[in-house]
Every structure is written in structure tokens, then in C-alpha cells.
Amino acid sequence: MVKFSEMTYRRPDFDELFLQMKAQLKDMEEAANADGFFVSANKLDNLASNLATQAVLASVRHAIDTRDEFYDRENDAFDEQLPRFNEIGSECARICLESPYRNAIEKKYGKYFLEKYALRLKTFKPEIVEDLVEENKLSTAYGKLIASAQIEFDGKTYNLSGMSPFRQSIDRDVRRRANNAVFGWMAQREKELDDYYDKLVKVRDRIAKKLGFENFIPVAYARMGRIDWDWKDARVYREQIASSVVPFAQKLYKEQAQRLGIENPKNYDYSLSFLSGNPKPMGEEEYLVEKATEMYHALSKETGEFFDVMTSCELMDLSTKPGKRSGGFMTFISNYKVPFIFSNFNGTSGDVDVLTHEAGHAFQGYLQRDVRPRNLTEMTMEVAEIHSMSMEYFTHPWMKNFFGEDTEKYYYSHVVDSIQFLPYGASIDEFQEWVYLNPDASPKQRRAKYREIEKKYMPHLDYDGLSYLENGGRWQMQMHVYGMPFYYLDYTIAQVCAFQYFVWDQKDHQAAWESYLNACRRAGIVPFKELVKECGLRSPFEPGCIDSVLPTLEQYVDSLDRSKIE
């Protein structure tokens, strides 16, 4: 198999490729029989795969070093050119839906395949191409700005990811100063961050109006491929979090403050879970990858084979370094039929989370590597995140190899942090809903609204007088708000599903694992609610779903050895 460094990048001739795709669309529309239709459709899918492969190579290599002038130009070229190819997808959807061979298509690929196409038609018209180009550029500009962070701290310079260990220091003054340094850097760029977001909101609202919608929310949901729940369902789901999870999370925060011996904790105190320090992995990248290799071989034949491919083909770029884009993600390199994991290791437990979370995404992609056409495996993000978040819990039995004496602390932090994440995820979603219902709000009004929402879901937060945060600026560090609107709630929905797998795995590992494999292999084939039912899970939208797992999670946390976590 080909190593990532050896994969050939060549900028496509966008005009020629566009014409080739249009020719295949014409052949599909004029096909004399179903066999001819599928031959042309497969050729179109291959052309789309070529385009996607080059786009991913340019994007990943740009993310690895945003200062690289060549890939910076290439990434810009795709920002400019990709939006017009939405027309190809839209035309393909129309042709399939209107085709005399529609029944054959449904028989071959399933009902959901066509339902996804019907949804795609709602999100594109040729007149929005320039708006899509602008949206791409603004999102990229935000990413570059965040990646450019150079924060002076105690005589050295760090990017945002590199500041994480200091924000988790056992020394309270170090935590405070690190917090002030990070958000001080953000505050200095508040106007730029406001301007990028204001323009993104305006262009997205303009796109919605051109598509015939009252606001951007239904466009965002259609883009996300959601066919079996909408923003009204999201409201009901968020209220479950507000009523059930928030009180439990607040109890856990109070226990944390008592454990730390801090009477009036500030926001920077909550990044430290234990007086003896947060759980830390016992080694750096080479050590962690070695232990992950052992773990995945022990977990199953499929995961062992998958991780061998990831390491032998150098399909991971893991450690933080200057110029590297912040955050972490998994993507799929279509023509090479392999996933790629991008991250920023910084010496915290998050490094191990990457080797379980992003590897969960990558493992799912690997399992579906041979499935074509590409649209067949396009899944909603709450489905995709089930694969990653559940893998975090299926790998619990091997955490001792990563954390040694800190293993019990990791178990505690992993479950507790996951519970406490749900209110934050809900706050980001509620904020975005308000923003796109009020697209003409000023940046100041947006920040004020976020602070109001934040107090509803996280009333414990005391920002110690730091005005940037007190005035509602915390959300500006959440890249999803800028680049992937309405994605963030999907993490919480998947987290509730992952909790169910965690509980199930402790009772019957084999049955839980077989269900998980099915969730991976069936992703994109059926919609979310049908998939979770098929896999033996309860839908988080179902009343009482969250309440059904919280008691077991509380029992698990209480069962951990307190002598090792106090």
C-alpha cells in the first residue's frame, strides 16, 4: 500500500473535469436501459472520487503546515473551485430522482440513498456558487487565524494546543496565567473573529434566502443530511440535557472543587481534576502508537488489521508543531481507500483520546473502504460520532498500558468529562439556533446571548473578571461554529449512544461489539433513528433515554477506587 508521503497530488484541471462530469450526467439521463445508467453513474462516481482525493491531499498537507506556500495556494484553489461542483451533485440527484430507472436504483442502493439525494436538491442552486466560495474563504481564514497563534508564556512560545498542559497545571497560578494568556490572545483578535463570523452569518442567511428558506437553519440541517429529526426535535433534546444532565454535572463540579480544596473555583480551576495532577500518558507519540497497536490487535482481528495499515502507510500526523492547524480530525482518501488521522499531541490525556476517538472514525471508514458509490456511505454526523465516541469506551480495558498508576484517574475523568460535555454541547447548539434566527444581531448582542445561554447550562462558571469571557467570547474558540454550523450537537447525541455501549459492554462485550461493528458497516445505508434501533440502542431523542443511563454512570464513577483519584 502507498504511504501518505508518496501519494501523488496534482491540481485537477477543474474546467475539464467539470465538462467530463457533465458528459456523464448527460449519459445517465439518456441511458437506454438500467445497466447503461449504472455504467455512467459509476464513471461519474470515479471522477468525483478523483476530485475528492486531490482536495483531501491538499487540505491535509495544508493543515499539517499552514505556512507551506504551495499547499496554501492549492487549498485556496479548492476553496474557489469546489463550490461549483455542487451543481454536479445537485444534477445527479435530480436525474436519479426523475430517472425511469428509479426503482432499479432503490432496489440496488436502498430507499435512504434516494432520500439523501432529495435532501441535496434543497441545498443548491447555481446562483449561490459565489456565496459558497465566500463561505469557504471565510471559514479557511478563521482556521488560519487560530493556527497562527504564537503565545509567549514563561519565556517560550506556544500555539493554542501547546498551552493545554499549562492550563491543567497543579499550580493554580500557572493555570490562571495560562488561561489569561490564551484568552488574552483571543481578546486581542476579537474584532477579526467577530468580523469573520458576522460575514459568515450574513452569507449563510443570503444563501438560505436564495434557496427559498426563511433562515439558514433548515439549510444547515439539509446540508447535514438530517431526514429524521429537525431543529424542533433538537430543542426537546436540549431540554432533556438541561433538566437531567445539568444538575448531575453541577454535583460533579462541586465534588471537584472540594477535591481540589478550592472554596470559590474559577473557570481555570475546572481544567484540573485532581490535586496530584490530571492523568497523563506514560510516553509520547512513538510509545503511544506502539501501545495502540498492541491494543487494537487485542481488541479484534478487524481493528488489528486496520491499525497496521495506519502505521505502515504513515496515515497519522499526531504531534503539535509550529504552523500546524489546531484541533484534530479524521478524513478519508478515496482513491487510496484509506483514512487519515490529524491531531496535535501535547502531553495530556487527550493524546490517548485521539488514538481512540479519531481511530474510531478511521476504523469505520476502513470497514467501508470498498463501498461504492461514495454517496451510499455518506452519513449524518451524529452517526459518525457514534463510531468515535463508542471506541473510546470499548478500549477502556487497555488504558493501563497508556496511563499506569493514573489509570483510575483516567477512568474517572473520561466518564465525568463526557457527562459534563453534554451541557456545553447543548449551549453551542442553542447559541447557533439563536444566531441564525437573528442574523442581523450585532457581535455584541451575540456574545451577550451566548453568556446568557452559558449560565443556563453551566451556571458554575466564574471567569474571575476576565472581560472577554464575561462578555460571552468563549464560543469563538469552537471552530465548528465557524466552519461546520450545527455540527456540535451531534457529538452530544453520539455521546448518549456511546454511554449505552459502555453500559452494554460491561454486561456482554461480544454482543455490544457485534452491534458496534454493525453500526460501522451500516452507516450511511440507513438513517440515524433506524440505525440505532437496528443496533439495539435507544434514540437519545426518545423521552427518558438520558435518564436511563445516568444512574449506571453514577454508580460506575462511585465504584472507582477513591484512594487513587482524590
Burial class of residue 86, CB neighbours in 10 A (0-12, 13-18, 19+) = middle
Percentage above 90 pLDDT, the chain? 91
Report pLDDT for 323.
87
Report pLDDT for 321.
87
Q: Is the pLDDT of residue 322 over 90?
A: no
As given in the structure block, the three cell numbers for residue 276 are 496530584
User: Mean per-residue pLDDT for 230-251?
Assistant: 95
Report pLDDT for 161.
84
| pLDDT one-digit tens code per residue, 144-154 | 899 889 999 99
| pLDDT one-digit tens code per residue, 384-406 | 999 999 999 999 999 999 999 99
Cβ-based neighbours of 152, under 8 Å, separated by 6 or more: 181
Question: E strands within 142-293?
Answer: 151-153, 156-158
pTM given for the model: 0.90
| pLDDT one-digit tens code per residue, 93-122 | 999 999 999 999 999 999 999 999 999 899
326: confidence class by pLDDT, cuts 50, 70, 90:
confident
| pLDDT one-digit tens code per residue, 434-449 | 999 999 999 999 999 9
User: Mean per-residue pLDDT for 61-85?
Assistant: 94
Cβ-based neighbours of 76, under 8 Å, separated by 6 or more: 137, 140
User: Which of 83-87, 186-190, 195-199, 333-337 is the least confident region?
Assistant: 83-87
Element (H, E) at 319: strand 316-319
Q: Alpha carbon of 442 to those of 201, 438, 473: distances in Å?
A: 11, 9, 13
**Strand order from edge to edge, sheet including 338-345:** 316-319, 338-345, 329-333
The label of the residue with cell 497508556 reads: 402
Q: Alpha carbon of 208 to those of 124, 235, 303: distances in Å?
A: 10, 21, 42
| Cα four-point dihedral sign 201, 207, 210, 212 | negative
Three-state secondary structure of 444-477: HHHHHHHHHHHHHHCCCCCCCCCHHHHCCCHHHH
CA-nearest of 289, 418, 271 to 343 is 289
| Mean pLDDT estimate for the chain | 95
Top pLDDT among 321 and 183 is at 183
The label of the residue with cell 517560550 reads: 156
Q: Is the pLDDT of residue 566 over 90?
A: no
CB 402 within 8 A of CB 296: no
Q: Please give the Cα distance from 69 to 364 (Å, whole number).
A: 33
User: Mean per-residue pLDDT for 454-476?
Assistant: 96
Cβ-based neighbours of 305, under 8 Å, separated by 6 or more: none
| pLDDT one-digit tens code per residue, 451-463 | 999 999 999 999 9
CA-nearest of 438, 468, 466, 431 to 452 is 431
Report pLDDT for 70.
97
